[in-house]
Amino acid sequence: MPKLDTYLFREFAQATFAVLVVLMVVSLGGVFADVLGDIARGRVPAGMMLSQLGLQVLNYLPLILPLGLMIGLLLSVGRLYRDSEMPVLTATGVGPGRLLRPVMMLMVPVVAFVALCSLWLGPWARDYSQRMIEQGNRSLLLAGLEAGRFVELPGGRGVVYVGGMSNDGSHMARVFVYQQDEERMDVTTSATGELKVEDSGNRFLELGDGFRVEGPLREGLDFRMMRFASNELQLPDAEGRSEDDDPETSSTLALLGDARPEARAELHFRIAPPLLALAFGLMAVPLGRSPPRQSRYGRTMLAFLGYFVSVNLMLLGQDWIADGKLSPGFGLWWLLLPLLAFGIWSYARDGRLGRRPRIAR
C-alpha cells in the first residue's frame, strides 16, 4: 500500500471514528431515556435495563453510521484543503480523483457493516429483545415487583404494591392491586400472593385471604365488596408484544417471500441504509472542498440537512408502501437511485456543478 494511501486512510478513519463516538454518545442518551420510560410504564422489566439498552443501540446503528461516515469524510477532506495539503498534492499531480482509493478503503467496510446491521443484526436484536421481555415477565424479580414499591401495570391500567417478598421472588405478602378500565375500578388486597404464568403467556396473581372491592370509576354507588380465601387475578399483557409474523422481527430471508405490503415496506427500509451510506460517502469528498476564506462548517450543515431530509423521506416512503399508497415494486428506489447517481456524478465532477471556465488563448 503506498504511503500516501496509508496517510489519507488514517486521516479519514480517525475523523470518522471521532464523529461516530460523539454521535453514539448523543444517541445513547436518547435510547437510555426511552428504555427508562418503558421501565417506568411497566413495559420492560427493570432487571433488563442494560441488555435492552444494548439491543436498542443495534437498531439505531444503520442510521447513525452513514451520518458519521459522511461528516467524518467532510471534516477530514476539509482539513486537507485548509492546511494546504491538497493544493500541494495537486501540484505534484495527485488530484482529488486520487482520493478514491483511500476513501473506498474506509467506505467498503463501513457500508458492509451498515448492511450487516440493517439486514441481520437489527431484526435479530428486535426479536431477541421481545423474547427477553416476554420471558422476564414470567419472573417476579425481573418483572420489576419489589417489596415496598408501587409498580405500574402495562398501559397505565393500574398499580401493584407488595409489602414483602421471598428471596427467590416466588411468594409475596401484603399485596395491594388496583386496576381500572374505562368505566370500572377494582381494588384487591390480600395477605399472601404468588405469580403464575400459563403456557400461553397469560399472567395470574394467585392471592389468598383478602378482600376485593369493585365499583364505578366516576359517578355512582354500585360498589361490591367480597372476601375470599383464594382468588386468581389476571394481569394485563405487556404492551408491544409482537406476533410471530411481525415484519419488524422477521428475518430478511422471510421478508423476501412475504407479499404483504407491510413486509415489502420493511424489506425496502432495510435495504436503504447501506445505499444511503454509499451515496453520502461519495458526496462528502467534493463537498469537503474548502477554498480559502470560506465558511468552515457551511457545507457540513448543508450535507447534514440533505441527510436529514433523505432519512425522513425514507421513513415516509416506508409508511406509503405499508399503507398501499406506493407500489411495493417501486419501493424506495425513487429516492435511492437519484442519490446514488448524484453522489457518483458529484465525485466525478469533484463538486463543480457548473461548466468549467474556458481558458482564453
* Tens digit of each residue's pLDDT (9 = 90 or more) over 28-38: 888 888 888 87
Contacts for 81 with CB less than 8 Å, ≥ 6 apart: 87, 288, 289, 290, 291
CA dihedral 321, 324, 326, 332 (to 10 degrees): 10
Closest CA to 287 of 271, 266, 307: 307
- Which tens digits make up the pLDDT trace of 241-275? 455 678 888 888 888 888 888 989 999 999 999 99
- 23 with 67: CB under 8 angstroms? yes
pLDDT tens for 276-330 read 999 999 988 888 876 666 666 677 788 889 999 999 999 999 999 988 888 888 8
Residue scoring higher pLDDT (138 or 329): 329
CA distance 263 to 243: 13
- How far apart CA 98 and CA 81 sit, in angstroms, is 14
Comparison of pLDDT for 64 and 233, the residue scoring more: 64
Grid coordinates of 236: 394485563
Q: Is the pTM higher than 0.85? A: no
What span, in angstroms and rounded, lies between the C-alpha atoms of 211 and 223? 13
Model pLDDT, residue 293: 62
The whole-number average pLDDT for the span 7-15 is: 91
57, 227, 346 from 297: Cα distances, Å: 28, 72, 19
Q: What is the mean pLDDT of residues 182-195?
A: 86
Mean pLDDT of 212-221: 84
Helix intervals (H) in the chain = 3-40, 49-82, 85-91, 100-116, 122-136, 252-256, 261-287, 298-323, 333-349
Angle at 47 between CA 43 and CA 53, to 5 degrees: 70
Query: Could you count the other beta carbons within 10 Å of the beta carbon of residue 216?
Result: 12
pLDDT at residue 228 tops 80: yes
Does pLDDT of 5 surpass 50? Answer: yes
